[in-house]
């Protein structure tokens, strides 16, 4: 028996034209390609990444242009995630991987892109300024193109939760995507922070996209001693030490840390493979826990269902209306 999630968000594919005539929401892609140059946060290696338009039902797929003799394509899906404490890493059956994908995934969701081919010449997405803002600016400049396929979403039908110690991640029913996040750090520069957002009406672009990854100076020292964070600087991360913010210019928001955790959560939830209609609650949750939550959701067929999006529903999805339209697909 084929698992329910593999019946796919595109189960209306053969009826796309009819569904469109009935006024259903449609899939999107970029209006043109956009390239980002930078370095990997952990490797420190230079990397070039180009996000290309892709056709209906393509989804988000990474393609390693530096790989020869193996399958270079890695679908950005929850069941391709390999456990990693410091970032989100996806891998295909040949062992070809791409890491630190959470910021670009959040940006794609935050500007309403459903289909894209992401070509990258190395194993790690460029960190740029440590947020999603450079990705968002590039993709907004490229514009949005509507495609011919009907848009389906994943509706959460009942609460699903995973725990690890004091950390909790939970999905429960809601009419649109909401994110509720809380963190608690001993460093006074971060401390306790909590924020809740309905992700409709451009909330990601307005509230979250410019919030940078953060860490403690002690963590930086430890990671560098172990060959990690080699591309990290005070310019592409918020580094704190007790009550001090060491990064030049200080914080972009007083609660920048929890906003970044929400950005990460949005990027990790994007690996569901379709927009989620539900409320996500995270308390001290990280990348691995959000992936465990998606696995728990899709393991229970009674916890979710596919739903064809009406135009009204599509308009309430993250990213709806934030990109200028490009020429429609023929």
Per-residue pLDDT at 271? 98
C-alpha closest to that of 318 among 272, 266, 279 = 266
Q: Taking the domain 4-315, which CATH number applies?
A: 3.30.1700.10
CB 220 within 8 A of CB 233: no
- pTM (predicted TM-score): 0.92
Q: Are strands 279-283 and 192-198 parallel, antiparallel or unpaired?
A: unpaired
Q: Which residues are catalytic?
A: 287
Structure tokens at 191: 């401390």
The DSSP call for residue 152 is E
Q: Which of 312, 290, 314, 90 is nearest to 170 (CA)?
A: 290
Order of strands across the sheet that contains 81-82: 81-82, 89-91, 97-99
Confidence (pLDDT) at 3: 54
pLDDT at 246: 93
Give the model's confidence band at 19: pLDDT under 50 very low, under 70 low, under 90 confident, else very high.
very low
Confidence label for 242 from pLDDT (cuts 50, 70 and 90) = very high
Per-residue DSSP letter, 310: P
Buried b vs exposed e over 190-206: b needs ≥16 C-beta within 10 Å? beebebebebbebbbbe
| Mean pLDDT on 127-137 | 97
Alpha carbon distance, N-terminus to C-terminus of the chain: 36
pLDDT band at 17 (very low <50, low <70, confident <90, very high): very low
Residue 182, pLDDT > 90, answer yes
d(CA 44, CA 101): 15
Q: In this model, does residue 20 exceed pLDDT 60? A: no
Tell me how crowded residue 59 is: count the other CB atoms within 10 A of its CB.
19
| Domain spans of the chain, in order of start | 4-315
Q: Write down the pLDDT at residue 322.
A: 92
Phi, psi of 181 (to 5 degrees): -135, 145
| Phi (first) and psi of residue 243, to 5 degrees | -95, 10
Q: What distance in Å separates the CA atoms of residue 11 and residue 126, rounded to the nearest whole number? A: 34
**Res 9 pLDDT > 50:** no
Instruction: Say how far apart CA 87 and CA 70 lie, in whole Å.
Output: 24
Tallying the residues shown for the chain, one arrives at 330
CA 235 to chain centre: 22
- Please give, one letter per residue, the 3-state secondary structure of 53-104: ECCCCCCEEEEECCCCCCCCEEECCHHHEECCCCCCEEECCCCCEEECCHHH
* CA 280, chain centre distance (Å): 14
CB atoms within 10 A of CB 316: 18
CA 248/CA 261 separation, integer angstroms: 21
Asked if residue 33 has pLDDT above 90, the reply is: yes
> What confidence tens digit (pLDDT) does each residue in 275-316 have?
999 999 999 999 999 999 999 999 999 999 999 999 999 999
CA distance 65 to 262: 31
Q: How far is residue 255's CA from residue 128's CA, in Å, rounded to a whole number?
A: 21
Percent of the chain scoring above 90 in pLDDT: 81
Q: What is the pLDDT of residue 6?
A: 54
* Residues paired with 169 in a beta bridge: 162, 282
Q: Strands, DSSP E only, in 94-143?
A: 97-99, 116-120
Which pLDDT band, with edges at 50, 70 and 90, does 7 fall under?
A: low
Per-residue model confidence (pLDDT) at position 327: 56
């Amino acid at each position: 028996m084929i698992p329910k999630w593999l019946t796919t968000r595109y189960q209306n594919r053969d009826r796309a034209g009819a569904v469109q005539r009935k006024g259903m929401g449609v899939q999107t892609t970029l209006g043109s390609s956009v390239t980002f140059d930078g370095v990997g946060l952990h490797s420190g290696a230079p990397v070039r990444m180009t996000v290309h338009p892709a056709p209906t039902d393509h989804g988000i797929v990474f393609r390693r242009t530096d790989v020869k003799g193996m399958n270079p394509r890695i679908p950005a899906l929850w069941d391709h995630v390999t456990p990693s404490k410091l970032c989100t890493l996806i891998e295909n059956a040949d062992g070809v991987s791409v890491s630190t994908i959470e910021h670009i995934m959040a940006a794609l969701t935050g500007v309403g892109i459903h289909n894209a081919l992401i070509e990258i010449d190395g194993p790690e997405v460029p960190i740029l300024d440590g947020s999603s803002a450079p990705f968002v600016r590039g993709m907004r400049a490229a514009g949005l193109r509507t495609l011919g396929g009907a848009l389906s979403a994943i509706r959460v039908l009942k609460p699903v939760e995973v725990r690890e110690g004091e950390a909790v991640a939970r999905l429960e029913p809601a009419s649109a995507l909401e994110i509720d996040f809380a963190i608690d750090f001993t460093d006074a520069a971060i401390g306790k922070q909590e924020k809740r957002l309905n992700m409709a009406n451009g909330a990601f672009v307005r509230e979250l996209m410019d919030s940078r990854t953060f860490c403690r100076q002690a963590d930086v020292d430890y990671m560098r001693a172990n060959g990690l964070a080699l591309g990290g600087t005070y310019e592409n991360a918020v580094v704190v030490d007790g009550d001090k913010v060491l990064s030049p210019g200080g914080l972009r928001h007083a609660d920048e840390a929890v906003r970044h955790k929400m950005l990460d959560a949005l990027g990790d939830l994007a690996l569901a493979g379709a927009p989620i209609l539900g409320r996500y609650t995270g308390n001290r949750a990280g990348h691995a826990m959000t992936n465990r939550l998606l696995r728990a959701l899709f393991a229970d067929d009674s916890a979710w269902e596919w739903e064809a999006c009406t135009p009204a529903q599509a308009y309430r999805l993250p990213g709806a209306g934030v990109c200028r339209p490009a020429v429609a697909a023929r």
